Structure formats: C-alpha cells, structure tokens
Amino acid sequence: MRDNPSPATFLNDDSLRRNLRGLAVGITLFVVLGTVAAVWANPLFVRMTPVGPWEFVATVLTAFLGGVTAAMWVPQCNLRASGTGGLASFLGIACPTCNKVLMLVFGGPALLAWFDPLRPWLATAGLVIMGTAALTTWRRFRAVRTGNRKVQGLRGLDRGDVK
C-alpha cells in the first residue's frame, strides 16, 4: 500500500507547471521558428531557397532544447547561452536570401557563395550551445531540488550562487 502524501507535498511540487511551461515553449518555438524560417509552406513567409531535410530536424531539436531549458529553469540560471544558441540555430535554419539584414551586409551573390554553405554548421553550433545550456540548467535545477549549495559547472568550477 502506498502512503498518502500530504497536501503540502503537492503544493511544493511544481513539476506539472514546469512540464506544461516546457511543452508550451517547445511548441511555440517549433511553430514560430518553422513559420518564420518557412521550413514548411505558409501564407506569411515565402522561402527563396529549397528546404533541406536537416533544416526540419534542426527546427525540431531547437524547439525541444528550448522547451527543456524552459521546463527546468530556476532563478539561478542564465538564459543568455540558450538565447545565443537559438539565434545561431535560427540563422542556420532560415532562408539566407530572405534575411534582409544578411542581404544588406553580404549582398546576394556573396551570401549564396559564402554564407549558405556555412548554414548547417551554424545551426549545429547553435544546437550545441543550446544543448550545453540545457545541461547546465539541468545541473542547477537538480542542485536546487536536492538542496546543494554548490553547483559543479561544465568547466569543473564550483559555483556557490545556488541558494
């Protein structure tokens, strides 16, 4: 027989709220990123270059890592790394000729000759940065949940800022 947990246990456990937040962020990122980058045909944005299969996979992974990071976020976490990775991933997924800023900086022929071949690598770098941010967030989340005062960082440094 299972022992009945007290109502205070359910009030202190916010896992349902965290999971719903992560799911909402992941779905929103997937829909917005895929629509703006025109990974699928939509009436809002038209893509000038064909979509490769890696772009859909990168869109899914970006949304997944963003949702995981949002679900485990605690006040001791810094979201700059995840945001930087998301931006790099977006630039890697998006159509290079549709991006007006890139078009102004590089020009059309240079953009297709120099930037377009680097897009898969940029998306991969963004996913690695987001994965690192998700791992760091998970470590800090776990430390807060277990009550540890120090969090081992990715570089092996102890961080005493977790309360």
- The verdict on residue 36 lying in a domain is yes
- The verdict on residue 98 lying in a domain is yes
Question: Reduced to 3 states, what is the DSSP secondary structure of residue 159?
Answer: strand
Residue 32: pLDDT over 70: yes
How far lies 117's CA from each of 87, 110, 111, 121, 159, in Å?
Answer: 18, 11, 9, 8, 39
How far lies 123's CA from each of 50, 69, 105, in Å?
Answer: 16, 18, 20
| pLDDT (0 to 100) of residue 111 | 82
- The verdict on residue 55 lying in a domain is yes
pTM, full prediction: 0.77
Residue 48: pLDDT over 90: no
| pLDDT (0 to 100) of residue 52 | 84
- The verdict on residue 2 lying in a domain is no
- The verdict on residue 106 lying in a domain is yes
Q: The domain containing residue 150 runs over which residues?
A: 7-161
Tens of pLDDT, residues 109-126: 888 788 888 889 999 999
The candidate with the shortest Cα–Cα distance to 95, out of 45, 47, 36, 44, is 47
State the total domains in the chain: 1
Place of tokens 């009030």: 11
- The verdict on residue 41 lying in a domain is yes
